[in-house]
């Protein structure tokens, strides 16, 4: 993906603020240079919806889409692993990739948060590789958003259009995960701690 496409998708997938609406002209200009045509048109459709929709309605729609629908979660490892022990290892792989590239994301979000991964992809070829490794997870999110009938599906379409198509193995992964949905929490699994606890820097980790 090119840097502008990654950064634009990251900005638009985050919780909408008034600054987002005030910057629509700049966002339109950024979208106009995105390639391929499928990505550019998908960004254009989404930005057109933003312009035509009151900010309060957009904010409410965002919460209803991403906070209240399990299948639409913006956390890439959640789609296949849910809140299971396997997800902890998957999250560690993200943190390892960030550290290896010298990328220091904020601890405000888990490392598989899609806007964060897109920021990484905008800054580093290693980020683009990480995104490609999770092509199946992106496809699961794209399908869920399309099924939900939300304009946010266009952002997933824009990102996926910039990535290689799904291979046979990824298609098999997507089929299984789509049929089953995110797995339920395993028996005895502790709830996930804040991101800083994953690397032992949190106060609770030192007890």
What is the SS3 assignment for 103? coil
Q: Whole-angstrom Cα distance, residue 170 to residue 134?
A: 9
* Degrees to nearest 5, angle at CA 133 with 139 and 167: 60
Alpha-helical runs (H) found in 53-167: 55-62, 78-81, 85-100, 114-123, 125-133, 135-148, 153-161
Question: Residue 37 burial by CB count (10 A; 0-12/13-18/19+): exposed, middle or buried?
Answer: exposed
Q: Whole-angstrom Cα distance, residue 200 to residue 37?
A: 44
pTM score of the predicted model = 0.85
Q: What is the pLDDT of residues 76-92, one digit of tens each?
A: 999 999 888 889 999 99
Token pair belonging to 201: 């820097």
Element (H, E) at 53: none
pLDDT at 180: 81
pLDDT at 186: 54
Token pair belonging to 170: 């990824």
pLDDT at 187: 43
Enumerate residue ranges in the chain where pLDDT < 50.
187-207
Residue range(s) defining the domain that contains residue 15: 3-182
Which residues contact residue 6 at a Cβ distance below 8 angstroms, ignoring those fewer than 6 apart?
Answer: 118, 119, 121, 122, 127, 128, 131, 159
114 belongs to a structural domain: yes
Number of domains in the chain: 1
199 belongs to a structural domain: no
């Amino acid at each position: 993906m090119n840097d502008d496409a990654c950064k634009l998708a990251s900005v638009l997938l985050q919780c909408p603020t008034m600054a987002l609406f005030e910057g629509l002209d700049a966002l339109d200009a950024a979208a106009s240079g995105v390639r391929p045509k499928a990505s550019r048109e998908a960004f254009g459709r989404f930005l057109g919806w933003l312009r035509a929709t009151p900010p309060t309605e957009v904010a409410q729609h965002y919460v209803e889409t991403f906070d209240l629908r399990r299948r639409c979660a913006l956390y890439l490892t959640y789609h296949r692993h849910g809140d299971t022990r396997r997800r902890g290892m998957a999250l560690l792989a993200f943190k390892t990739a960030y550290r290896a590239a010298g990328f220091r994301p904020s601890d405000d979000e888990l490392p598989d948060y899609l806007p964060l991964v897109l920021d990484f992809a905008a800054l580093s070829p290693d980020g683009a590789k990480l995104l490609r490794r999770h092509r199946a997870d992106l496809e699961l999110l794209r399908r869920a958003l399309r099924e939900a009938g939300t304009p946010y599906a266009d952002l997933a379409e824009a990102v996926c259009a910039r990535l290689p198509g799904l291979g046979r193995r990824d298609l098999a992964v997507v089929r299984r995960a789509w049929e089953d949905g995110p797995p339920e929490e395993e028996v005895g699994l502790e709830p996930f701690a804040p991101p800083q606890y994953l690397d032992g820097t949190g106060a609770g980790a030192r007890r």
